[in-house]
Structure 1
Amino acid sequence: MAAKDTDGTGPRLAAATPRPERRRGRGATANPSGRFETARREAFADGWEREEDLPPLRTEVTAEQARRIITRNDSPDIGFDRSINPYRGCEHGCVYCFARPNHAYAGLSPGLDFETKLFAKPNAAALLERELSAKGYRPRVIALGTATDPYQPIERRHRLTRAVLEVLARFNHPVGIVTKSDLVLRDLDLLAPMAARGLVQVAVSVTTLDPVLARRMEPRAPRPEKRLAAIRGLTAAGVPAMVLMAPVIPGLNDHEIEAVLARAREAGAGAAGSVLLRLPHELADLMRDWFSEHYPARAARAFALLAETRGGRVYDAAFGTRFTGTGPYATLLSDRVRQTARRLGFEEARPALRTDLFAVPGREGAQGCLF
């Protein structure tokens, strides 16, 4: 099996789809070229090698020496202005991940490349220490895991998230973590003391309670019961934990809102949130292809409902509504989350994390910044 270049609009996703045997345990069903590529790749039989003879897709990790580790943003509709992602790409393989299109900046596919060709930033902790020590730095909550999961499987070996947390703990710097993995419990020795000082909160993403659906759309993420166990373990250790049902996918997991929130509350989650499915750039076609393979009978309804919330389009990046959508269906979803959270006794607002304890270790006369 070889590949040839095509021009124009390129082949359909089907032309970039490896056989199921090769992509077992992966989320995306295709590997189309990124939007910045001048050519498209299309597989064809050349008589030399059959695809069924090729090995399964393996995870490759490339070391990336980053220049900076704290990423800044000025988006008016998110609750943080800085974030850290120790990894690019994510082995969890969540088919719906809004960060998939970012892989196109590396000349790679937002499809299978996103979950098999990963980048690790081994200098993350050293960069963080330098940036936090810079003269004039003012602490605000750092979001950890906004694009790719900080506790994805390769963290067990690379331990970059662990190293970042060690720096944040020494500087008494506040951090908010988003993850799907119970690997977060490994770091309770850091998180529990930070929580006691009001420096950390963790959001655990639970998208479904159905293990079959979870395995299809999040193949290498821990199963739902393990994520609930993570909430339980965090809460028992005194670490504030919330449940995040993200994304809500019309016609696929939207019927589970009440059940997911109820199970998370039983596990000890103190707050709840949700995000409507977002399909920027190449992600829309990737989701269509995934639906065609796994849930063809649900595809039309799912995309019709989604378009209803985006003014007739499947994606709208407008600030203020990009996470929730607009219209009757979007309002219904938001009302269900809000009313269920109130009924179950979730907090409406979590206490703000502290910034006044921040101090650069070893700096003579160092003391907390007061606001």
Structure 2
Amino acid sequence: MVEVVENRCRRALSRTGVYGFEASLNPYVGCQHGCVYCYSPFVIGRDPGSFRRRITVKLGISRALKRELQGRRGRILIGSVTDPYQPLEARYRLTRSVLELLVRENVPFTLMTKSTLFLRDLDLLVHGELGVSVSTLDDSRARRLEPGAPPPSARLEALRMASERGVRTYVFYGPVAPGEGDSGPLLDLLDGGHVQYVMVDRFRLKRGMLAWLMEALPAVGEDPREWVEEAREGRSYRRVLASLSGRGVPVFALGGKG
């Protein structure tokens, strides 16, 4: 059961350390997708359990954004510590209202999501850049690790549809779950020319994360030791990088070359 808290948004943009972006924007606090491995609650200092069960909706975020856009023309990252297309977006339409303003003001943006709800907004996303994130390409495993998100196969198919509508697209493969390496479904997308580039990132243990994983991972049939080893060694991360190389599509190794 998700508790929804409606708050009036006073500030829409946040500073970000992500290279190439002037600011980040998150229409919600918390995320219904409930990814077991998610860094976001540890980045913003939230309990990982309440992060998925208590979602704050930033009402009026587009009005706040309009004030803050004065003099800004740098690229904005949408969805750095939440999913802008989590299920509540179907009701509140905050992400769409933000996109409408950015397109109207000609401000460049990049959006990342695990949802397929973005298909609703292709008329706006065609003016920016759209990315889908995956940590595993196994639908059955994803149901355990990312219980509130559509399966990876549906995400990649939706991304293909967006590409066919003229949207600039990318895939964020990360954090790579231990045991991954067969990138077959993603290779089909790359070979079809539906992705402009791929970013691959390794799993990292954030401060305070280990205690959560030791409890949460066994509950979904995962071995925490394998995740800790992946954080140290990055073997699956390197396998994914190797499987994606030589396909004629730029691949960016965010966790190093291994």
TM over 0.5, shorter chain: yes
Which runs of no fewer than 5 residues in structure 1 stay unpaired? 1-57, 195-199, 310-328, 350-371
Q: Structure 2: how far apart are the matches of 1:78 and 1:334?
A: 23
Where does residue 237 of structure 1 map in the other structure? 165
Match 1:269 to one of 195, 215, 226:
195
Where does residue 237 of structure 2 map in the other structure? 333
Q: Decide whether aligned partners of structure 1 residues 348 and 301 sit closer, same or farther in structure 2, where only a CA change above 3 A counts.
A: closer
Residue deviations 1:113-151 (CA, integer Å, cap 9, x gap): 11111001011000111111x3xx131100000110000
The CA RMSD measured in Å over matched residues stands at 2.2
Q: Structure 1: how far apart are the matches of 2:43 and 2:225?
A: 27
Where does residue 65 of structure 1 map in the other structure? 8
Match 1:151 to one of 85, 89, 112:
85
Residue deviations 1:200-229 (CA, integer Å, cap 9, x gap): 111111222222111101001011221011
Q: Structure 1: how far apart are the matches of 2:243 and 2:229?
A: 25
Q: Offset of 1:335 from its aligned partner? A: 7.2
Counterpart amino acid of residue 300 in structure 1: R
Q: Structure 1: how far apart are the matches of 2:157 and 2:104?
A: 28
Q: Offset of 1:66 from its aligned partner? A: 2.6
Identity of aligned residues (%): 35
Match 1:125 to one of 62, 67, 70:
62
Counterpart amino acid of residue 130 in structure 1: R
TM-score, normalisation: structure 1: 0.63
Q: Structure 1: how far apart are the matches of 2:137 and 2:239?
A: 21
> What SS is found at the alignment partner of 2:246?
helix
Q: Which has the larger radius of gyration?
A: 1
Q: Structure 2: how far apart are the matches of 1:206 and 1:305?
A: 16
Q: Structure 1: how far apart are the matches of 2:177 and 2:244?
A: 19
Where does residue 25 of structure 2 map in the other structure? 84
Map 1:215-364 to 2 at 5 A. Answer: 215-250=143-178, 252=179, 254-256=180-182, 258-266=183-191, 268-295=194-221, 298-306=223-231, 308-309=232-233, 329=234, 333-334=237-238, 336-337=240-241, 339-347=242-250
Counterpart amino acid of residue 210 in structure 1: D
Q: Offset of 1:169 from its aligned partner? A: 0.8
Where does residue 48 of structure 2 map in the other structure? 110
Where does residue 123 of structure 2 map in the other structure? 189
Q: Offset of 1:278 from its aligned partner? A: 2.6
Match 1:204 to one of 126, 132, 135:
132
Q: Structure 2: how far apart are the matches of 1:336 and 1:279?
A: 19
Q: Decide whether aligned partners of structure 1 residues 235 and 81 sit closer, same or farther in structure 2, where only a CA change above 3 A counts.
A: same
> What SS is found at the alignment partner of 1:344?
coil
Q: Decide whether aligned partners of structure 1 residues 286 and 348 sit closer, same or farther in structure 2, where only a CA change above 3 A counts.
A: closer
Which runs of no fewer than 5 residues in structure 2 stay unpaired? 253-258
Q: Please say if residues 75 and 109 of structure 2, whose CA atoms lie closer than 8 Å, have aligned partners that are also in contact.
A: yes
* Stretches (4+) displaced over 3 A: 102-105, 332-336, 339-342
What is the number of residues matched between the two proteins? 251
Q: Structure 1: how far apart are the matches of 2:78 and 2:44?
A: 19
Q: Structure 1: how far apart are the matches of 2:237 and 2:51?
A: 30
Counterpart amino acid of residue 225 in structure 1: S
Counterpart amino acid of residue 5 in structure 2: T
